[in-house]
Structure 1
Amino acid sequence: MIFPTLFGRWPMPSWTGIWEKSNPTKWKEGRFRMYKYKKLFHGLIGSSLVVLLAACGDGGSSPNQTVGQKPADKAEKPPEPVELKIHAAGVAEQEFNTRFKDVLHKKYPHITITWLPSSGASNSVAEYVARGEIPDIIRNISSTIRTNYLDLGLGYDLNEMVMKYKYDLARFNPIFIDGLKNLTSPNGELYGLPVSPFFSRVLYYNKDLFDKFGQPYLKDGMTWEEVYDAARKMTRVENGVVYRGFSANVSSLLTYNEYSLSTLDPAKDELSSFETWKKIFDNYMRFYQIPNNTIGKTVAEESAMFQKGTVAIHSDIYSPYLNLSMLPNWDMASIPIIDGAPKKIGIFPPGYLLITKQSKHKDEAFKVIMEMLDNDVQMNDARNGFLPTLADKSVLSVLSQNSDAFKGKNMKAVSYYEFAPLRPARAKGMTVIDTNTADAMLRDAFMNSALGSEDVNSALRKTDELLRKEVEKEKSKTK
């Protein structure tokens, strides 16, 4: 390197002192010449430094640029504006805006979400497809993904995006990912990611009635036998008012059972497990055989009985949408488990966010979905009463903290047991019928038995016959 030589000390001869003493005049002349040489040399050093510093920097740099400093990076080009159309059946636009709109706009200001109306026959996914207005993102529930997505030729396997963005599927409760794949994906395709709300079963009880009749409150972990005993004691007639001990959302009793039992057998064209369904029917039927605890005439009437204030115990789903404001003093307890059944809480499954294969903005759509399912978003959802789809159970600790309706309630009841898996799909090659149609047949059978028009065995045999006919009807469409 040249730097040590340039910046070293000026070499002074060792005989300087001798020269100074022996010849003062010559010494002065020599000092003058030496001064000129030093001045010239220092000028050369300065010139060399300028050249060296210029060589060290970028040839195109500004003269004021610091040594070694890189020129400022060019500003990144802002992303092009993108419009994403979303169809979310079963969710109101106001709810979507409250939960997601601000979050998405802050994260992706260049993406505009266009909300497609979903209520009414003319606004179904099938109608949008028929009109050539295919959404980019669709929200469906697991039981309708086949009919309202795959059968319409919209299916897009998200595994591609999961790999591209290294997205961790383990962050979700595995029953939701595995359940969807079992229902829709014979070859491991992943068509959607789970989004709240989903609903688990609980027991609601009217504390005022328990106080009125001097009975102890319900508690978590009770058996159906203990609940039956409480319902029997609470059912009575006083001053012409019939007080019922028990009512239920019949759909939740049957469809969201702890066995994860489907109505139609996954592998046979018949009612799934006749004996298990008989056990389920018998467990609940006894409540409606208590004198003065007659079931409502319809499923809707029975579901609304608790709000009237004359029913002590009500079996239903936990839901942030439930309005019990007309009851000043109520609470919840965990749903009991039928003796011998898996200790699981039956659930109404979550929705799933799907991308259509026709979308021209799949990357943007996936980014939007990732943001909607972000931990912070789900934490905020949980505070407002929505059960999270995450595997992390700590999120449940804040459930309904911001909800006036559930403030001070026993929120532990909602997840007292593990959630039951989604009901299995029909086996590969088996004829598929509409799930809602099959479940409606089973509800009718239960109502007929509870109202006394049929015994349980006859009602279940009739359901079996109807299911077989429905399968044959579906098979005839492909002949």
Structure 2
Amino acid sequence: MRCKQAWISIIALIFVSACNGADSPGRETGNEVGGVPAAKKDPVELTVYNVDKHPEERFMVEYGNKIKEKFPHVTVKYVTGDLAALVTSGVEIDLILTSIGLTNSAVLKYNFQYDLSDLIKKYNYNTSRLEPSTVAIQKELAGGGMYGLPVRTSTMALFYNRDIFDKFAVPYPAEGMTWDELYELSRKLTRIDAGVQYYGYIMSPGHMLSHNQLSLPAIHAKTNEIVFTSDKYAGLVKNWLRFFQLPGMETYKDAMSTNTAIHKAAFTKTQNAAMFAFSTVWRDAEMSDVNWDVVPLPSFKEAKGVGPQSYPAYFYLTSQSKHKEQAFEIMSYFTTDEFQLFTSRMGLPPIVTTPDVLKEFGKGSEYAEFYKGKNLKALVPASYAPAIPKTEYTSIAEKHVVAAMKETLFANKDINSALRDSAEAAKKEIESIQVK
């Protein structure tokens, strides 16, 4: 098994070891960042809530140890668990770490949002250093302001199994391909050999919808109108459905499952999926058993060269924090080249546009073996599609789109009819939530 034991050791290191910043440059000056607040020396405790509920050991490796190193006067109280219960119990939270997809349920729902505009202006914080779509998302969310600063991002890429391509003498997928060209590759690879059914292309449908390169929303962000019945959206869905309508694909009964573990297993365990579209931060231990590589997702003819949408994570300064300047100081540090170089080497796509940070992606000692020989530039797209505004109902709408896709594949329902019926179901579900 390729590097399996080594990779298991890597996972252990990530979750339980202290991070080593020896390879990082000294802390940046305020000029580089555009005015990071001057370090305050008074002892202070900041409470950080992580929506992902990662164990504290992991948080310390990724963020906490850096806070201790750079801000020794700051004590971090790390909390996870049920946010509603924490709020009810009176816990005062200073910073919230969450993805853009969960911002509504973890920040806006509790009125934790706090516009950073005054702090950004006061300290001349330079947002132009940040990946533009991560800023645009916040501008949309905060009506021109910013509630959070990005710390990392991810998107979608196309992972492929070299051995399956070699077995059937099919050329590897290439950067710059269109979806039509990928379809032809998938058609050649969806076949039976020695009693084994191979699948050319599989995907996580929910991820593909939320990251779609055409930036088509399933629901209108301001009116909550269901908009996935449009011709353009139907075309987006049809593009992916055709891959699963190839002869032989009907045996992949979990094609439209939102359980990503099923799709991962087809690629890593049974290894009968030649290509798998999934997150750029995917790095499970089982991947080391596969002779894999990665290329960017193919592009649409009408959006040539446009990558999928960015899916960033942010630190949010809460409205209830009594230590806003100290918290903003730490948030600002997480966007410096120094810290972003640290995370980039860890294989987490950076949110700064600094070339020296981008070129170090995945080159940290912990990941050198895992990423050796891989097409790493595919994991950090040159450009992202404009981001779709996320609302508390976005996931509901996209869930019903997946249901329509499933009806089309397994119940032979016309996709346009399926989308119309799903739109009605989505509307009813959203209305039932609104009246509560």
TM over 0.5: yes
Match of 2:340 in 1: 378
- Whether the aligned pair in 2 keeps the contact of 1:83 and 1:111 (CA below 8 Å) is yes
- Whether the aligned pair in 2 keeps the contact of 1:259 and 1:342 (CA below 8 Å) is no
CA distance in 1, matches of 2:265, 2:290: 16
State the secondary structure of the residue aligned to 1:285.
helix
Q: 2:387 aligns with which of 422, 429, 434?
A: 422
Match of 2:265 in 1: 304
Pairwise CA RMSD: 2.1
Amino acid at match of 2:242: R
Match of 2:238 in 1: 282
State the secondary structure of the residue aligned to 2:303.
coil
Q: 2:61 aligns with which of 98, 102, 113?
A: 98
Deviation at 1:250, TM superposition (A): 1.4
Q: 1:461 aligns with which of 420, 424, 429?
A: 420
Q: 1:408 aligns with which of 349, 373, 377?
A: 373
State the secondary structure of the residue aligned to 2:289.
coil
Match of 1:139 in 2: 97
Deviation at 1:393, TM superposition (A): 4.3
CA distance in 2, matches of 1:254, 1:447: 14
Amino acid at match of 2:196: V
Match of 2:28 in 1: none
Amino acid at match of 2:154: F
Q: Deviations over 1:151-171 (max 9, x none)?
A: 313222111221222211111
CA distance in 2, matches of 1:145, 1:215: 43
Amino acid at match of 1:185: A
Match of 1:204 in 2: 159
- Whether the aligned pair in 1 keeps the contact of 2:137 and 2:389 (CA below 8 Å) is yes
Match of 1:446 in 2: 405
CA distance in 2, matches of 1:275, 1:192: 35
Cα separation, partners in 2 of 1:336 and 1:467, compared to 1, 3 Å: same
CA distance in 2, matches of 1:145, 1:256: 16
CA distance in 2, matches of 1:395, 1:326: 26
Looking at both structures, which has the greater relative contact order when contacts are Cα pairs under 8 Å and sequence separation is at least 6? 2
Match of 2:182 in 1: 227
- Whether the aligned pair in 2 keeps the contact of 1:320 and 1:386 (CA below 8 Å) is no
Q: Deviations over 1:93-129 (max 9, x none)?
A: 233211222321122111101110x2xxxx2322211
- Whether the aligned pair in 1 keeps the contact of 2:154 and 2:311 (CA below 8 Å) is yes
State the secondary structure of the residue aligned to 2:373.
coil
CA distance in 1, matches of 2:103, 2:196: 46
Match of 2:148 in 1: 192
Match of 1:367 in 2: 329
- Whether the aligned pair in 1 keeps the contact of 2:49 and 2:78 (CA below 8 Å) is yes
Q: 2:210 aligns with which of 255, 269, 272?
A: 255
Amino acid at match of 1:109: P
State the secondary structure of the residue aligned to 2:48.
strand
- Whether the aligned pair in 2 keeps the contact of 1:345 and 1:415 (CA below 8 Å) is no
Q: Once structures 1 and 2 are overlaid, which stretch shifts more, 354-363 or 340-349?
A: 340-349
CA distance in 1, matches of 2:89, 2:224: 38
Cα separation, partners in 2 of 1:446 and 1:369, compared to 1, 3 Å: same
Q: Deviations over 1:341-364 (max 9, x none)?
A: 364222351111111122111111
- Whether the aligned pair in 2 keeps the contact of 1:126 and 1:148 (CA below 8 Å) is no
CA distance in 2, matches of 1:417, 1:81: 42
Amino acid at match of 1:444: A
Deviation at 1:270, TM superposition (A): 2.3
Q: 2:83 aligns with which of 112, 115, 125?
A: 125
- Whether the aligned pair in 2 keeps the contact of 1:220 and 1:416 (CA below 8 Å) is no
Amino acid at match of 1:254: L
- Whether the aligned pair in 2 keeps the contact of 1:204 and 1:316 (CA below 8 Å) is yes
Cα separation, partners in 2 of 1:415 and 1:100, compared to 1, 3 Å: closer
State the secondary structure of the residue aligned to 1:146.
helix
Q: How many residues align?
A: 386
Amino acid at match of 1:125: L
CA distance in 2, matches of 1:207, 1:408: 12
Amino acid at match of 1:170: S
- Whether the aligned pair in 1 keeps the contact of 2:51 and 2:97 (CA below 8 Å) is yes
> Which structure would you say has the larger Rg?
1
Deviation at 1:421, TM superposition (A): 2.0
Please list every run of at least 4 consecutive aligned residues from structure 1 whose deviation after the TM superposition is greater than 4 angstroms: none
CA distance in 1, matches of 2:421, 2:284: 34
CA distance in 1, matches of 2:279, 2:341: 21
CA distance in 1, matches of 2:319, 2:220: 31
User: Unaligned stretches of 5+ in structure 1?
Assistant: 1-77, 426-431
Cα separation, partners in 2 of 1:438 and 1:393, compared to 1, 3 Å: farther
Match of 1:69 in 2: none
CA distance in 1, matches of 2:224, 2:320: 35
Match of 1:330 in 2: 292
Deviation at 1:214, TM superposition (A): 1.3
**1:113 and 2:68 aligned:** no
Amino acid at match of 1:180: Q
Q: Work out the percentage of aligned pairs sharing the same amino acid.
A: 29
Match of 2:351 in 1: 389
User: Unaligned stretches of 5+ in structure 2?
Assistant: 1-39
- Whether the aligned pair in 2 keeps the contact of 1:199 and 1:319 (CA below 8 Å) is yes
Q: Once structures 1 and 2 are overlaid, which stretch shifts more, 353-362 or 408-417?
A: 408-417
- Whether the aligned pair in 2 keeps the contact of 1:205 and 1:330 (CA below 8 Å) is yes
Q: Deviations over 1:310-343 (max 9, x none)?
A: 1111122211444443533111112111222364
Amino acid at match of 2:63: F
State the secondary structure of the residue aligned to 1:325.
helix
Amino acid at match of 1:139: L
CA distance in 2, matches of 1:115, 1:250: 33
Match of 2:227 in 1: 271
CA distance in 2, matches of 1:223, 1:204: 16
